[in-house]
Amino acid sequence: MEIYKDLSSPASQKFEKLLNSQLSKNKIEEGKIIEGKITKITEKYIFLFIPGLKSEPVIDINEMKSIGMQDKVIEGTTIPVLLEKIEDKNGDVIVSAHKAQKIKGWYELENAYEENKSINGKILQIVKGEL
């Protein structure tokens, strides 16, 4: 059985060029913050589309509520998520909007420090200790 006939044909070369151009656009790496487009919302889960991934990541809707982003949960909008695992033992993509928000906040804090700018924040807890 012959799978590949003539890979040097113009159609094959055009397809290879198109495929390589699309793959080079999507730099998917674990530990990076990427944008995911909301494709479906159920009572419990939010389904995302992220170009370059073979399956749809899912976020628990309670995670979005816990970080105050429930108002941004609308089909078609994009949200930042941290790509924790491209594929776990079940073949699922693991992402976290909560961790992405924390990391983005840390980057903003670092930038404010480097540029000697003030920031606004909310005190959540006071810790007793020695000074």
Condensed to tens digits (0 to 9), the pLDDT of residues 44-71 reads 999 999 988 888 999 999 998 888 887 8
Cα–Cα–Cα angle for 45, 46, 48, nearest 5°? 140
Q: Can you tell me the mean pLDDT for 90-112?
A: 92
Please state, in angstroms and rounded to a whole number, the distance separating the CA atoms of residues 126 and 42.
38
Per-domain residue ranges for the chain? 29-114
Please state, in angstroms and rounded to a whole number, the distance separating the CA atoms of residues 63 and 61.
5
Please state, in angstroms and rounded to a whole number, the distance separating the CA atoms of residues 5 and 30.
37
Residue 1 has pLDDT above 50, yes or no: no
Per-residue tokens: 93: 């993509």
Maximum Cα–Cα distance across the chain: 77
- The single-letter code of the amino acid at 113 is Y
Q: Right CATH number for 29-114 from 2.40.50.140, 2.170.120.12, 3.40.190.290, 3.40.50.300? A: 2.40.50.140
More confident residue, 68 or 1: 68
